[in-house]
Structure 1
Amino acid sequence: MSLKNILPGRLGFGTAPLGNMFRAIPDEEAAATVEAAWDQGVRYFDTAPFYGAGLSEERLGQVLSAKPRDEYVLSTKVGRVVLDEIESDVPDFGEKGGLFEHGNPNKLLHEWTAEATERSIEGSLKRLNTDRLDIVWVHDIAQDFHGDAWIQKFEEARTGAFRVLSRLRDEGVIKAWGLGVNKTEPIEMTLALDEPQPDGFLLAGRYTLLDHEHALQRLLPLAQEQGVDMVVGGPYSSGILAGGTHFEYQQAPAHIIERVARLKDLTARHGVSIKAAALQFSLAHPASAAVVPGATKPTRIAEDTAALDEKIPAAFWTDLRAAGLVSPAAPLPHDA
């Protein structure tokens, strides 16, 4: 089923920050942020066991379990099983470093087999305090976590998670499944398979104002051919496009800071907010079904909603392209 037929709007809420990404936030602040999203009309929520070893799911579930279940769409991910055992070592998250060092102390089992997929879903349902999931993403079977071993993890998921999720979709237990990754290659490989196909994918950080060329070259034409939709995760490139200092989950390098400065000069000249430019750019591609920025403060949700509705003059997009700040091949809102 097309994601565009499942998702209730073009703005969702990505809950990685609720897993204490980068910093510890109080439970009250996390709950208030989810409530703010609901009050702003957001009805699509995305989470994962990986986000703080279940902390994000727990916090999201505490709020959403009090809402009518038929009024929102919920997605989580498989590939990490949260164990009861406490982690004694510093977890190795590949390129992502100490991303969730402030999350729950539970050990994570990183596994994409059929059995682990079933366990992962069972655990997520309990933490989210719900009886069903709408969309399930196969999480992080890519180079950024596994280096050269990512092909092995992909194969584990192909013969495990992919088949379980295809069955659950066919049985009507879930509405859709796909990949939730930070790299394009695993999605390209999945779309090339003859086996049961995904309904869509959540691509984080690879279709933003700062990084979109690679996705445009191969992935998105292939996705369009097959009628597979994209949810854009990380539209602010880990925060650098929203006033933060992180890019790709690390401190932003000098060349990125310089590029953001050029973007800010252009937005200032046209009286446009950089958040609005970022969100509307990510949604302009025909394959984009929704964008899911994350937040840990209630005020950020209102900013995201306003950014989506902000009127951006066509001259801004023309100047953006003329300045070489976006790919010539990137669809822009004023092209429609």
Structure 2
Amino acid sequence: MSLKEVLPGRLGFGTAPLGNMFRAIPDDEARATVEAAWDHGVRYYDTAPFYGAGLAEERLGEVLATRPRDGYVLSTKVGRVVLDERETAAADFGEKGGIFAHGNPNKMLHAWTADATERSIEGSLKRLGVDRLDVVWVHDIAQDFHGDLWVRKFEEARTGAFRVLSRLRDEGVIKAWGLGVNKTEPIEMTLALDEPQPDGFLLAGRYTLLDHGHALQRLLPLAEEQHVGMVVGGPYSSGILAGGAHFEYQQAPPGIVERVGRLKDLAARHGVSIKAAALQFSLAHPVAVAAVPGATRPGRIAEDVAALDERVPAAFWHDLRAAGLVSPAAPLPNGA
């Protein structure tokens, strides 16, 4: 079954912010946001143990417990096992700094072995309050978390998580598996293997209006050739394309702020919202099957749904290309 056949629509809900990403979010606000996603027809939910050391899964599960399990598609990730004991040292999130400093205080075991993968899934099922998962992503086996050691982590996942998830898919326990990363290289390496292949991948921040050139060079042609689908994570580049100040999970540098200003000016001249431009661009590539923007306020969900449905004139896309704000190789919506 292809990833496109598994997912119920083009717009999902990414729950990283529910893990108290950047700020402590009140429980009632988190709950209202998930309920807003459901009320607006969103039926694909993506989460991970890493998001606030299980907090995002707990919050998502609380709402989904009141919905029919066959009525939605659920994906989570493996690579972190949330432990019962409290973390006493400052958590190391690689390049992501203190991204989940306000999450649960639990320690996390960072491991991609077969045993850790099964423990991770077991913990996720418990926190989510469900009896099954639809899609499982192998999380963060890339340079941004491991530096020069990332290839060693990749090998650990290849001989551990990849094989466990391939077996679970073959047994019908899950419908699909793949990688959930912020870099293209681990996915390229996976697609080059002679071993059981993933059904797709969740690529965060690497196919957006601000950063897509590298993905277009090798990864996306390879994925298209192998009929592997992509879920676009972070289509708003950590928020900078949605009115926020973060890019790559950090304060946006001046060069990015200037580029976003140019994008907004062009969008304004055509009467287009920057959110619509960003979301529709990310979904225009034939490999893209869905996007999972995150949110922590109910109103943001309505904005995402409106952005997906907004009519963007072809002239905007032509001017975007002419201004050099997108790669010449990037497919544009409606063949523009």
Q: Distance in 1 between matches of 2:96 and 2:80?
A: 15
Pairs aligned (count)? 336
Q: Is residue 2:253 matched to residue 1:253? A: yes
Alignment of 1:87-236 (within 5 A): 87-236=87-236
Describe the SS at the equivalent of 1:88: coil
* Contact 1:285–1:330 (Cα < 8 Å) also in 2: yes
Q: Distance in 1 between matches of 2:38 and 2:50?
A: 23
How does the TM-score come out when normalised to structure 1? 1.00
Q: Distance in 2 between matches of 1:213 and 1:335?
A: 18
- 1:47 maps to 47
Could you tell me how far 1:257 is from its partner in structure 2?
Answer: 0.3
Q: Which amino acid aligns with 2:95?
A: E
- 1:243 maps to 243
- 1:4 maps to 4
- 1:316 maps to 316
Give the % identical residues.
85
Q: Point out where structure 1 has 5 or more consecutive residues left out of the alignment.
A: none
Could you tell me how far 1:24 is from its partner in structure 2?
Answer: 0.3
- 1:284 maps to 284
* Contact 1:317–1:334 (Cα < 8 Å) also in 2: no
Describe the SS at the equivalent of 2:218: helix
* Contact 1:47–1:76 (Cα < 8 Å) also in 2: yes
Q: Distance in 2 between matches of 1:50 and 1:164?
A: 19
Q: Which amino acid aligns with 1:100?
A: F
* Contact 1:75–1:137 (Cα < 8 Å) also in 2: yes
Q: Which amino acid aligns with 1:132?
A: R
* Contact 1:187–1:201 (Cα < 8 Å) also in 2: yes
Q: Residue by residue, what CA displacement relative to the aligned partner does 1:183-218 show, whole Å, maximum 9, x if unpaired?
A: 000000000000000000000000000000000000
After TM superposition, which residue ranges in structure 1, 4 or more long, deviate above 4 angstroms?
A: none
Q: Residue by residue, what CA displacement relative to the aligned partner does 1:78-137 show, whole Å, maximum 9, x if unpaired?
A: 000000010000011110000000000000000000000000000000000000000000
Q: Distance in 1 between matches of 2:295 and 2:125?
A: 23
Q: Distance in 1 between matches of 2:92 and 2:62?
A: 29
Q: Distance in 2 between matches of 1:126 and 1:34?
A: 19
Q: Distance in 2 between matches of 1:116 and 1:292?
A: 26
Describe the SS at the equivalent of 2:76: strand
Q: Residue by residue, what CA displacement relative to the aligned partner does 1:43-75 show, whole Å, maximum 9, x if unpaired?
A: 000000000000000000000011000010000
Q: Distance in 2 between matches of 1:286 and 1:14?
A: 21
Q: Distance in 1 between matches of 2:225 and 2:285?
A: 14
Q: Is residue 2:275 matched to residue 1:275? A: yes
Could you tell me how far 1:334 is from its partner in structure 2?
Answer: 3.0
- 2:84 maps to 84
Q: Distance in 2 between matches of 1:2 and 1:231?
A: 12
Q: Residue by residue, what CA displacement relative to the aligned partner does 1:286-325 show, whole Å, maximum 9, x if unpaired?
A: 0000000000000000000000000000000000000000
